[in-house]
A and B are shown apart, each in its own frame.
Chain A
Amino acid sequence: MIPLSLRYYRADSVDEALELFHKISHEHGKPIFYGGGTEILTRARVQDIDVDAVIDLKGIPALKIHQDKGGRLEFGAALHLTDVAEKNLWPLLTATADRVADHTSRGQITLGGNLLSILPYREAILPFLISDSATARVAGPNGVRTRPFSELFDETLRLSPGEFLISAGVDQDEALGPRFKSRKMTRIDWIDYPLVTVVVTRNPRGAIRAAFSGWTTYPFSSPRIDRALSDGKRSPEERAKEALHHMPAPAVSDIHGSREYREFVTEYTLAGMLRELEDTP
């Protein structure tokens, strides 16, 4: 049962949310920023999270931004994953986010909540990990800053206590230029956490980029993997096999599948995606 004493605050502005967090912490409370609440509530129910106040961010207009402006695509952290898919500003993000959970849950899960989940998957982050222009707008005690994803991301988006994500953005050219494939492989059911989710892009010069979720305890991309996958002199199968040698960590064995099975599925999925991307004109 969720502690009934949990206090609920809904902030109307970025400053209000920051002040609330500061005030509650200062009074020895344990606040947490609250997006869709799906993870916080399910964890609270089994006493897996030690918080006594939630600060709901969904009423803050800056977190609902959803636009294509001046060559940048901007996605507010409080957008629901169904909003992202319906507007479809970035088809690669749609294809990936639209495979998270199920349709009803995606109407509750927010983009920010998925990117900052404590779970290993965070599938909606994959497109951002392979976009050099991706930035995160973060609010914190020292004000609002826009930082490149590459600087903030190290296995997770590294936000300090009291900081929260306002929005994430990417250059339209980079987002819409390359061809892409996004594939989620699950053990049996369509709706499940991924055995592995693979996102691959190919730019007009043939350079490949890839990002993975489910392989290990965090989502990742890697320039070494991208180099191996971009070596056009080798077959897709050879490149996929080679890419597996450059994974930053061994594949996990868990309820979804053994290490060996994950490697096998990842390799053939990757090879198939390369073939599809390169075969079609």
Chain B
Amino acid sequence: MKTLTRPEQVTLTINGEGRDVVIYPGETLLYTLRGDALGLTGAKPGCENGDCGACTVLIDNIPTKSCMVLTAEVENRHVTTVEGLEDAPIQHAFVDNSAFQCGYCTSGFIMVGHALSQHADAPDDSRVVEWLRSNICRCTGYQEIYDAVRSVCQDSTAP
């Protein structure tokens, strides 16, 4: 059994490194990541209600809205934030396709796109759309975001 009933130091695996951090049991992962101890502000607070996806990170390579998960849940799991993507193809694809404007939603979209590009199965177009529907952008067009993500995923229809 795992118990966390008061603030306690835990070791989290973030972007491949063990990080010691004191967390409260009721703290969301979004809050922990952005706090002074870790200072990983790539995941953005938007709605904090599960709707916008700006806070998306990967937990064991699965896109996860970090406003809807307690940090206590992710001990022994691998958390990847946008800061952990070093020169990943998806980052270049966003630049090449002009897939952002203000950039607030961008890290969330990038994390979803990166996870999809790493997926074993080549996604078809409807799958790319379905994954991207998890995130909201309020100022640029979705087409550029789609094009950026599509460009880094294998094409399931390719011969």
Contact = CB atoms under 8 A, between A and B. Distances in A.
A41 B56 CA distance: 16
A191 B134 CA distance: 8
B26 A105 contact: no
A107 B25 contact: no
A48 B4 CA distance: 23
Nearest to B53: A104
B63 A38 contact: no
Nearest to A52: B26
Interface string A99-123: 0011111011000000000000000
A4 B24 CA distance: 6
A7 interface: yes
Given A2-B28, A37-B73, A101-B50, A107 B64 contact: yes
Given A8-B3, A37-B73, A108-B64, A45 B134 contact: no
B130 interface: yes
Interface stretch (A10-18, A146-154, A215-223, A266-274): A10-18
Interface string B42-83: 000000111001001000001111011110110000000000
A44 B26 contact: yes
A107 B57 CA distance: 12
Given A2-B28, A9-B1, A38-B50, A105 B133 contact: no
B104 interface: no
Q: B27, B49, B70, B112 — which one has the most chain A CB atoms within 10 A of its CB?
A: B70
Interface string B137-154: 000000000000000000
Interface residues of B, number: 32
Nearest to B25: A8
Contact of A104 (B2, B26, B56): B56
A4 B1 contact: no
B28 A102 contact: no
Interface string B90-121: 00000000000000000000001000000000
A103 B26 contact: no
Given A12-B1, A37-B70, A103-B130, A42 B50 contact: yes
Contacts of A108: 50, 64-65, 68-69
A7 B64 contact: no
A107 B3 contact: no
Contacts of B27: 2, 4
Contact of A103 (B4, B73, B134): B134
Contacts of A58: 73
A81 to B, nearest CB: 13
A122 B72 CA distance: 27
B63 A104 contact: yes
A20 B5 CA distance: 13
Interface string B11-50: 0000000000000111110000000000000000000111
Q: A5, A58, A104 — which one has the most chain B CB atoms within 10 A of its CB?
A: A104
A45 B49 CA distance: 9
A200 B63 CA distance: 32
A88 to B, nearest CB: 14
Contact of A102 (B1, B48, B64, B134): B134
Interface string A45-60: 1000000001010110
B65 A105 contact: yes
A44 B25 CA distance: 13
26 contacts: A2-B27, A3-B26, A4-B7, A4-B26, A5-B24, A8-B26, A9-B2, A9-B3, A12-B1, A37-B70, A38-B50, A41-B70, A42-B68, A45-B48, A56-B73, A58-B73, A103-B133, A103-B134, A104-B63, A104-B65, A104-B134, A105-B50, A105-B134, A107-B63, A108-B64, A190-B133
Given A7-B5, A42-B48, 15 more contacts: A4-B25, A4-B26, A6-B26, A7-B4, A8-B2, A8-B25, A42-B50, A56-B2, A56-B73, A58-B73, A101-B50, A104-B63, A104-B131, A105-B68, A108-B64
